[in-house]
Amino acid sequence: MKMPVVIFCGGKGSRMKEETEFRPKPMVLLGGKPILWHIMKIYSHYGFNDFIIALGYKGDYIKDYFLNQEYLMHDFTINTSSGKKSLHKNNKKRHDDFNITFVDTGLETLTGERLLKVKKYINSDTFMVTYGDGVSDINILNLLNFFNSKKVTGVIIGVHPKSKWGLVISDKENIIKKFQQKPKLNQYVNGGFMVFKTDVFKYIKPREMIEVALDRLVKEKQLAVYNHEGFWSAMDTYQDVEEMNKLWKKDPKWKVWG
């Protein structure tokens, strides 16, 4: 389906310097592949293969990864004098069917302006947007059906965040019954999988975060939320990296593709 997916990949990921000192946050490895690849695989599973990557911090790292993907996947021979390369392809290794536009949107640019800078590459009346650090088992087609039913400018997904702290559960006499480690909270937060009509650009201004535009949509009742009760996780800290890699080995719920 020819509906582009914009992925914000420009932030510095300062809360996880153990990883992002050397690579951009979307390229942090999850099961041996960048989390960006996992996000793209989710969309691709539902038939959306056209991506616009809004680059910033260490954007060349992301370009290099996809430009050299053939050589990362296969054995190859190189003649250092002529520069001639010969790939030794292993037919068992499957290639992804991604069509990617890479856009340098600036080192310090905020997300709203990053979206403005990729506008010229959006060639449909409706497009999707997400961040380069979150995965989910969300059904993208159901999300789009919800969007089409609401007749609004934008839809975000609502997900239940996990508490960063363990909760103390006690009885009426204040006797502790148990500690509940990082429970899922009842409230919803923006899970980052978003759908917009191109009318959204009327609400976005330079030098602003996209959340400011979302507030403007709210005031005009042009933003709806699709509450997702399934799996969602964002890679925000080094501990998240470790936990999500453990999940990949044990129960990767976001792996909706075959």
Secondary structure, 3-state, 145-209: HHHHHHCCCEEEEEECCECCCCEEEECCCCCEEEEECCCECCCCEEEEEEEEEHHHHHHCCCCCC
Q: Can you list the domains of the chain with their CATH numbers?
A: 5-136+192-209+229-250 (3.90.550.10)
Q: What is the mean pLDDT of residues 110-123?
A: 97
Residue that has been written with the tokens 């539902």 in this structure? 46
User: Which pLDDT score is estimated for 184?
Assistant: 78
Q: What is the pLDDT of residues 194-223, one digit of tens each?
A: 999 999 999 999 999 999 999 999 999 999
Using pLDDT thresholds of 50, 70 and 90, give the confidence band for residue 1. Answer: low
Give the C-alpha separation, 76 to 85, whole Å.
Answer: 7
Q: What is the pLDDT of residues 228-254, one digit of tens each?
A: 999 999 999 888 999 999 999 999 999
Q: Are 7 and 37 in contact (CB under 8 A)?
A: no
Give the C-alpha separation, 257 to 88, whole Å.
Answer: 27
User: Which pLDDT score is estimated for 91?
Assistant: 59
Give the pair of three-digit tokens for residue 123. 């060639």
Q: What is the pLDDT of residues 143-201, one digit of tens each?
A: 999 999 999 999 999 999 887 777 788 888 888 888 887 777 788 999 999 999 999 99
User: Which pLDDT score is estimated for 94?
Assistant: 65
Give the pair of three-digit tokens for residue 232. 């969602």
User: Which pLDDT score is estimated for 2?
Assistant: 84
Name the pTM for this structure: 0.91
Q: Report the candidate in 2, 107, 13, 11 with the shortest Cα–Cα distance to residue 52.
A: 2
Question: What is the average pLDDT value for the chain, to the nearest integer?
Answer: 92
Using pLDDT thresholds of 50, 70 and 90, give the confidence band for residue 19. Answer: confident
Give the C-alpha separation, 230 to 142, whole Å.
Answer: 13
